[in-house]
Amino acid sequence: KRTQHSLSTWTIENERIEKLIQAPILVCTVDHLIPATEGVKGGKQIAPMLRLLTSDLVIDEPDDFGLEDLPALCRLVHWAGMLGSRVLLSTATMPPALTYAAFQAYQAGWSQYAKANLEDWNGEITCAWFDENKTQDQQISEFSAYEKAHQKFITERIKYLRSIERDKHLAEILPITKHIEKTVIQAVAETLHSAALN
């Protein structure tokens, strides 16, 4: 027999699992999905695995993770590929090494998915890069081709940013007049406030 405490704990856990699986769009931290790749007992991997099986994965700012998190992040990307999900890494500052690791993890996972689900897969996966200036997409099967395509996009991105950034960095040096009845902090605050309004 279940005790009242264990029954309420079981009910809360079931509600959490239902929300994870059934939400049409789910926003959560990565630690809700990482158990899909780390389950060894207790069934904690089932809900996140079902979620990945039926949806795509968007990871926001993956470059915020440290090097010690890279194996777990790559396992998650690999697992998403194995389940046939698409993966989007949303960031403007991802280092190349993290990009390359994620590509290789996804490609390895997708190849397992393709073996089970696609009859004539040619080894290519769709890769795309997006920014406010342009979109680049390509079918890629070799890591060296991915590396070249990524570097091409980054080079064009740098050129674009250099062409538009000058106007964003214009500044004006404001004189701050000190009054006898005001502190320096009050004088600075008033000067900044009026300049911001202007």
> Can you tell me whether residue 48 is helix, strand or coil?
helix
- 87 and 56 in contact (C-beta within 8 Å)? yes
- 191 and 174 in contact (C-beta within 8 Å)? yes
The C-alpha atoms of residue 49 and residue 53 are separated, in whole angstroms, by 6
Q: Which residue type is seen at 138?
A: Q
- 146 and 103 in contact (C-beta within 8 Å)? yes
Provide the pLDDT confidence category of residue 38 given band limits of 50, 70 and 90. Answer: confident
pLDDT at 94: 85
Q: Which two tokens stand for residue 152?
A: 């091409």
The C-alpha atoms of residue 45 and residue 65 are separated, in whole angstroms, by 22
The C-alpha atoms of residue 158 and residue 161 are separated, in whole angstroms, by 5
pLDDT at 92: 84
What predicted TM-score, i.e. pTM, was given to this entire model?
0.71
Q: Pick the range with the lowest mean pLDDT from 4-18, 39-53, 57-71, 162-176.
A: 4-18
Q: What is the pLDDT of residues 111-168, one digit of tens each?
A: 999 998 888 888 899 999 998 888 899 999 999 999 999 999 999 988 988 887 666 5
Instruction: State the average pLDDT for the chain.
Output: 83
Report the half-sphere exposure of 87 (CA within 13 A, side-chain side).
Answer: 26
pLDDT at 5: 47
What DSSP string runs through 125-174? EEEEEE-SS-EEEEEE-SHHHHHHHHHHHHHHHHHHHHHHSGGGG---PP
44: pLDDT strictly greater than 90: no
At 23, give phi and psi (nearest 5°).
-65, 130
Distances (CA, A) of 44 to 41, 70, 74: 7, 21, 19
Q: Residue 24: left if φ>0, alpha if ψ -120 to 50, beta else—which one?
A: alpha
